[in-house]
Amino acid sequence: MKKILQNKKATAGLIMLLFFAFLAIFGPIFVTDNPILPGSVPVGRMPLAAVSDYPGWYRDFTGNPTYTNNVYATSNAKFSDPNGLKMWQNSTTSSGITVSYNSQTGPDVKGCLQINFTQAGNATIATSFYYPYTVPPKEYATEFFYSVQTQNQTGQLGNITLYAYFTRQLPEGGQKILPATTNLTLANTNTAFTLVPYHEICSINSDLYRLYGQDPDAVIFPSPGPYTFELVVQFEGNATATGNPTVLLGNVNLLLYGNSFGLLGTDDLARDLFSQLIAGTQVSFILGLVTAVVSVAIGLIVGLVAGYVGGATDEVLMRINDMLLVIPSLPLMIVLIFVLGQSLLNLIVVIGFLGWMGFARTVRSAILSLKERSFIEAVKSAGGGRFYIIRKHLIPNVFPLIYITLAMSVPGAIVTEAALSFLGLGPQDVMSWGRILYEYEISGQIATGAFSVWYWTIPPGVCIALLSLSFILIGFALDEILNPRLRER
């Protein structure tokens, strides 16, 4: 270890390797977004960000006011927690309508806002927030869970409708009320029980385009300032005849999407690119190390047996080795991936079982030389068996080859996976660096040039190069230390 640390190549390689190991081990702590699921959903069940966002630090770095970040207008609206209700105000148009907190039930989890109707009328809940940007949000979305309960006995109809509004304080005084969507019918109360686990109101709504034209967000959010978001639940009908309907409203979230997000932005499916990069680090480590161990283990066994046993066994094993060396590896891998399926395990098996041939020949050459040495003859004369000689004398003498080959095999596995993934043949069950580049390729943005969205294309490419370089430097350093011909005197 002391000699390794004294070697400049090994030191540089270890520093880079430790950096990627830190990302692979501790990176998931800092990112909770699903790297594969389109529009990962950490905010309730809404996408975490808009599609094709710039990195979140663009605004501060460039000073450009057109870059906006997400605004979580109701980031703590958890009705399952009574404290989440503090940010909401409620009002009713009739004393026959009551709004209260129910901690025992809810449309999704325990804890909700309960609205009881014993008369027709409206119940309004509202929350205030500040929008800080001079340009409108890229889009907005709100979600809520609700259920409607009634004891309708007569079959008479009643309608429960929800209206969503934004109220903007005008500079000259007064307010401007803007519908966030057209009316949404929650229930016809001739049904005994209605449960809708999730609903979303968003600005990508044809009704809003009819109301405001081609850019509804610019009309609703023309300037920074205080805003109010209101949900109005309206009951029409005879409350007694329809069984005094009750509306349970749970966990309302309102998110105003910016055009920049996170450390590296998002892709065309609204997935966090930094989360994908961290996931790719883990995949590259697992795939590189496991395939290297598999290929080195197979090569070691084949080389030992062929070199020490010799004869027909050596001839058969080496002809198989030569046959696999002659076949182009990439077309063979493509065929095998098609047959086996695109998973990480299958990729490890394919790369591992097609990467041992060169090492097997190296080990065979070393064994052919070692078995003629005098100390091997001495062991044989002392009664040492074949397996004893292999285990105690031959394998320890090829250990330097094992260390070096392990270090040099990892970059090959990482680059091979990246190449297969870029061709669309990588694992579909995980997100790798190669798959990030493939997703960019099929997104259609490749026509604009790789540097137009550099935060999508450059980081995975740099990571592939640096992680491969770290193992290569370590391999060169081990070769200098362990190879007698290169060892420094």
Whether residue 294 is contained in a domain is answered as: yes
Residue 375 has pLDDT above 70, yes or no: yes
Please tell me whether residues 291 and 247 are part of one structural domain. Answer: no
Residue 271 exposed, middle or buried by CB count within 10 Å (0-12, 13-18, 19+): buried
Average model confidence (pLDDT) for the chain?
80
Q: Give 33-64 as a 3 state SS string.
A: CCCCCCCCCCECCECCCCCCCECCCHHHHHCC
How many CA atoms are closer than 13 Å to the CA of 464, on its beta-carbon side? 20
Tens digits of residue pLDDT in 189-203? 444 434 444 556 777
Whether residue 421 is contained in a domain is answered as: yes
Whether residue 22 is contained in a domain is answered as: no
Please tell me whether residues 359 and 239 are part of one structural domain. Answer: no
Please tell me whether residues 219 and 278 are part of one structural domain. Answer: no
Domain finish residue from 257, 284, 312? 257
Whether residue 184 is contained in a domain is answered as: yes
Tens digits of residue pLDDT in 21-49? 999 888 888 876 778 777 665 555 678 88
Domain finish residue from 222, 257, 292? 257
How many CA atoms are closer than 13 Å to the CA of 465, on its beta-carbon side? 6
Q: At residue 106, what are phi and psi to the nearest 5 degrees? A: 170, 165
Q: At residue 328, what are phi and psi to the nearest 5 degrees? A: -60, 125
More confident of the two residues 198 and 414:
414
Please tell me whether residues 146 and 184 are part of one structural domain. Answer: yes
Domain finish residue from 196, 226, 257? 257
Q: How far is CA 181 from CA 25, 142, 210, 222, 328, in A?
A: 44, 11, 11, 17, 59
Please tell me whether residues 277 and 251 are part of one structural domain. Answer: no
Tens digits of residue pLDDT in 54-90? 998 988 888 888 899 988 887 656 666 667 677 778 8
Residue 486 has pLDDT above 60, yes or no: no
Distance from C-alpha of 84 to C-alpha of 16, rounded to nearest angstrom = 45
Q: Is 43 left (phi over 0), alpha (psi -120 to 50) or beta?
A: beta
Please tell me whether residues 249 and 313 are part of one structural domain. Answer: no
Whether residue 10 is contained in a domain is answered as: no
Total number of domains in the chain: 2
Please tell me whether residues 100 and 173 are part of one structural domain. Answer: yes
Span of 59-73, 184-198, 309-323, 463-477 with lowest mean pLDDT: 184-198
Whether residue 102 is contained in a domain is answered as: yes
Residue 195 confidence (pLDDT): 44
Distance from C-alpha of 221 to C-alpha of 231, rounded to nearest angstrom = 18
Q: How far is CA 449 from CA 263, 282, 445, in A?
A: 21, 28, 7
Please tell me whether residues 440 and 474 are part of one structural domain. Answer: yes
Q: Which of 169-178, 207-216, 350-359 has the highest mean pLDDT?
A: 350-359
Whether residue 80 is contained in a domain is answered as: yes
Residue 161 has pLDDT above 90, yes or no: no
Q: Is 17 left (phi over 0), alpha (psi -120 to 50) or beta?
A: alpha
Residue 117: which CATH number?
Answer: 2.60.120.260
Q: Which amino acid is at 157?
A: L
Please tell me whether residues 210 and 277 are part of one structural domain. Answer: no
Please tell me whether residues 359 and 467 are part of one structural domain. Answer: yes
Residue 409 has pLDDT above 60, yes or no: yes
Residue 19 confidence (pLDDT): 92
Distance from C-alpha of 283 to C-alpha of 429, rounded to nearest angstrom = 11
Contact 199, 144 (CB under 8 A): yes
Please tell me whether residues 203 and 125 are part of one structural domain. Answer: yes
Please tell me whether residues 400 and 462 are part of one structural domain. Answer: yes
More confident of the two residues 330 and 55:
55
Taking the whole predicted model, whether its pTM rises above 0.85 is answered as no
Q: Is 155 left (phi over 0), alpha (psi -120 to 50) or beta?
A: left
Contact 115, 247 (CB under 8 A): yes
Whether residue 373 is contained in a domain is answered as: yes
Domain holding 418, by residue range, is 273-482
Residue 222 confidence (pLDDT): 85
Residue 318: which CATH number?
Answer: 1.10.3720.10
